[in-house]
Structure 1
Amino acid sequence: MSTLLLAADTAGYTLPTTWRALTKTGYFLGLSGTIGGLVTYATTVRPTLRRTPDTDDASLLRHRSSVWFAWSGVVLLVAGYFQLAARVARNGRGMPFGHALAPRPIWQFLRAPADDGTWIAQGTLFLVQNLVLLATAILLMTLFTRAARRRVDPVALTALPLALAVTLIGAVPATVPLKADEVLDLVLTQTHIISGTVWLGGLALLSVLAGARRRLSPDAGLLWADLWRRFSLVAMICVAAVVVSGLWMSWKHVGAVSQLWTTGYGLALLVKINLVLGMVTAGAFNQFWLMPRMAQARRTGENASLLHLTLRHFPKVVWGEVALGLAVLVVVPFLSGSARKEAGGAPAEPSAGVYTAGLALALALAVSLYATARASDALSRRTPTPDPA
């Protein structure tokens, strides 16, 4: 945080107001809980639980998932309201944030006519976005009731596309993009947001579910080994998407490596990069050390060791990743403006060479992740049986 405060002294950079920082961080926290939790449930939790649908372990995890979704609906609703008020406060000449919380200025903002040259009013887009957000939150909050919790699967699968629509609708431009890099900006920014929220929200959901370990059966290690295995694939895809989209956005806003420590935007980005690298390092530890030992214990029938690895060792590392991810959300509001502008440089100009280099990096990253998965699999066949103690 001291690095971010140092950014305040950087020429051309303005620290966000407290209300702006809190509302933006809260909004992404709400998206992480809903999008990340729902995607993880659909791709990881639900397929695993369907293999043993009638066990007490599956029932407990399904119940805890429904409670997570119900509260994530509450967080999304509150965070979405404050985020909308923040937009109103920043609109036009601006107004005090406290005044922007009132219904009247919010309604005036949402019903403002379209500007010249736009195909739709910006307020109309935000109106649609927040109506979808409201529907998503209400649907998830029905899981507070016992009747809805018995149908958590259809509720979660219905809420998933709605939650994704919340961020996608908000990214729709009021003017039609005319350049390829403008379209690419929109696509990769949403890729960055969705993959980041899935990564963080998925880690948080599984960590909370693992907190029920004292109420799980001695055979729960088999179930959790499958959960961690499935999510490791989801996490690797998210890491790839975050890196590729992050590189593009960094190139757009940072013109030279030295701008990472000579501009306010660059300092904030440097903090974020280090936090993300910490998350990747923790993930690599899971992939190369814990996952192989879990696979070995599973093959040899060491259930006690498997339970210890999946519900004690693994969640400890994952909670560390969650803490780093939350720190990333705190840093996000400080990424305002552009290091290129602060340094007085020219805007980024995409070219065929830039696109080719980006494609090559994406392919190289895909190959490296495939090699990572194969290496982890190879280690699982060679690692000796772990000591459950």
Structure 2
Amino acid sequence: MSSLLLAADTAGYTLPTTWRALTKTGYFIGLTGSIGGLVTHAATVRPALRGSTGAADDIAVLRHRSAICLAWSGVVLLVTGYFQLAARVARAGTGMPFSDALAPGHIWHFLRAPAAKGAWIAQSTVFLVQNLVLLVTAATLIGLFTRGARRRLEPIALAALPLALAVTLITAVPATVPQATDDLLDLVFTQIHIVSGTVWLGGLVLLSVLTGARRHLSPNAGLLWADMWRRFSLVAMICVAAVVLSGLWMSWEHVGGISQLWTTGYGLALLIKIVLVLGLVTAGAFNQLWLMPRMTQARRAGETASLFHLTLRHFPKVVWGEVALGLAVLVVVPFLTGSARTEAGSPQAESSTGIFAAGAALALALAASLYATAKASDALSRRPAAATDPA
């Protein structure tokens, strides 16, 4: 990837500095852990544990491990958020060395900067509010390291969830009123892309880490985990739809033709990202059409050992591969700077009734394909299985 982008540098594409690439990737990792972890806990782990009739010890182990994972996500969010703020300071105005931007004095001066002429709110105020919310979110999650807070895991996690979402959503507040519909749509689709992507990857990370507790779980824990994987598969499918649709809009905005994917620096970075996301989607389809039906078959047949193997040994191996691909996507994100249209000298994108109609048709087609995938998975789960244990 690096050699391709370096080659594109001569065509007007500027590689981000090392500190910029690291801080941006780190920031998205922080969002992934907090937003993805909290949404997955609320939509997958919590309802599965509450509805489980399994051993109380299994529930206690997973609840404790989930709390610790969320606590660590608070630490990561706090650290990466600070570096991201310093990166903003380093790039503001005439700029300054990143090492100098780390100083609290420079950060405080940046957060007190006055509003630009014509702005209804200072951009610095937006960043100030965002980072105050980030601080509260991180502190709330870090508190789960204490035994007393872990006993109140559910209300604390539910309280932290809207705060974590606000950390990224606040940055979408424009300092000036958007002049065109496209500008507003850019803000909306960018946040949809960020939230859905972090929920998807963060959920995979949380559940993968939780499977590490399998040595402390009873043989019947496969039933509980089958329910969790089933719940998360629905969340993941929704996220896939949101990522694809928002990604299509953003790609149309910045890429004026297919050839720009390999003739511009932005396009090359986007092409690499697309390949990685396709790998994620392929792995998800494998889970939905091969592993999920086998888990359902094993559950109906009462094959406890096979279900435990599928849910806590085989399934996590595939998911860890998805996590690796997802992290690779985050590494690529900082290289998506500028626009392929600008590099190629193409005209800026302009929306029209035809564009919106095409987008609506794509959305319907995507919804239909996801529905068909879900129905196919359900049909496969009802087929007699010769062997449900892949070992």
Normalised by the length of structure 1, the TM-score is 0.98
- Report Cα offsets for 1:177-229 as digits up to 9, x if no partner: 12111111111100000000000000000000011111100100000000000
- Report Cα offsets for 1:48-74 as digits up to 9, x if no partner: 000138711111111001101111101
- Indicate whether 1:18 and 2:18 are aligned: yes
Residues in 1 aligned to 2:38 and 2:386: alpha-carbon distance in whole angstroms: 34
Map of 1:253 onto structure 2: 254
1:253 CA drift (Å)? 0.2
Residues in 2 aligned to 1:72 and 1:141: alpha-carbon distance in whole angstroms: 8
Residues in 1 aligned to 2:2 and 2:191: alpha-carbon distance in whole angstroms: 29
Residues in 1 aligned to 2:276 and 2:57: alpha-carbon distance in whole angstroms: 38
Map of 1:37 onto structure 2: 37
1:115 CA drift (Å)? 0.7
Residues in 2 aligned to 1:142 and 1:62: alpha-carbon distance in whole angstroms: 15
- Report Cα offsets for 1:296-332 as digits up to 9, x if no partner: 0000101111111001110000000000000000000
Residues in 2 aligned to 1:20 and 1:121: alpha-carbon distance in whole angstroms: 23
1:70-89 map, 5 Å: 70-89=71-90
1:1-389 map, 5 Å: 1-52=1-52, 55-388=56-389, 389=391
Residues in 2 aligned to 1:178 and 1:371: alpha-carbon distance in whole angstroms: 40
Whether the 8 Å contact between 1:218 and 1:307 is mirrored in structure 2 is yes
Secondary structure of 2:382 counterpart: helix
AA partner of residue 20 (structure 2): R
Whether the 8 Å contact between 1:171 and 1:186 is mirrored in structure 2 is yes
Structure 1 portions without partners, runs of 5+: none
AA partner of residue 121 (structure 2): I
Residues in 2 aligned to 1:29 and 1:201: alpha-carbon distance in whole angstroms: 9
Q: Number of paired residues? A: 389
Residues in 1 aligned to 2:388 and 2:111: alpha-carbon distance in whole angstroms: 61
Structure 2 portions without partners, runs of 5+: none
AA partner of residue 18 (structure 1): T
- Report Cα offsets for 1:140-194 as digits up to 9, x if no partner: 0001101111111111000000000000001111001121111111111000000
1:2 CA drift (Å)? 3.8
Residues in 2 aligned to 1:39 and 1:55: alpha-carbon distance in whole angstroms: 23
Residues in 1 aligned to 2:2 and 2:284: alpha-carbon distance in whole angstroms: 27
AA partner of residue 300 (structure 2): R
Whether the 8 Å contact between 1:25 and 1:329 is mirrored in structure 2 is yes
Whether the 8 Å contact between 1:8 and 1:15 is mirrored in structure 2 is no
Structure 1 residue runs of 4+, over 3 Å off?
A: 2-10
Residues in 1 aligned to 2:79 and 2:292: alpha-carbon distance in whole angstroms: 38
Secondary structure of 1:135 counterpart: helix
Residues in 2 aligned to 1:385 and 1:230: alpha-carbon distance in whole angstroms: 26
Cα 1:10–1:238 shift into 2, 3 Å? farther
Whether the 8 Å contact between 1:7 and 1:263 is mirrored in structure 2 is no
Secondary structure of 2:51 counterpart: coil
Whether the 8 Å contact between 1:3 and 1:271 is mirrored in structure 2 is no
Whether the 8 Å contact between 2:44 and 2:231 is mirrored in structure 1 is yes
Q: Percentage identity across aligned positions?
A: 78
AA partner of residue 131 (structure 1): L
1:39 CA drift (Å)? 0.2
AA partner of residue 50 (structure 1): R
Whether the 8 Å contact between 1:288 and 1:376 is mirrored in structure 2 is yes
Residues in 2 aligned to 1:61 and 1:11: alpha-carbon distance in whole angstroms: 52
Residues in 2 aligned to 1:195 and 1:387: alpha-carbon distance in whole angstroms: 32
1:385 CA drift (Å)? 4.6
Residues in 2 aligned to 1:2 and 1:51: alpha-carbon distance in whole angstroms: 48
Residues in 1 aligned to 2:347 and 2:377: alpha-carbon distance in whole angstroms: 44
Cα 1:27–1:383 shift into 2, 3 Å? farther
Secondary structure of 1:212 counterpart: helix
Whether the 8 Å contact between 2:255 and 2:339 is mirrored in structure 1 is yes
AA partner of residue 20 (structure 1): R
Whether the 8 Å contact between 1:196 and 1:238 is mirrored in structure 2 is yes
Whether the 8 Å contact between 1:111 and 1:124 is mirrored in structure 2 is yes
Residues in 1 aligned to 2:200 and 2:182: alpha-carbon distance in whole angstroms: 26
Query: Which region of structure 1 is more displaced relative to structure 2, 2-11 or 41-50?
Result: 2-11
Whether the 8 Å contact between 2:70 and 2:141 is mirrored in structure 1 is yes
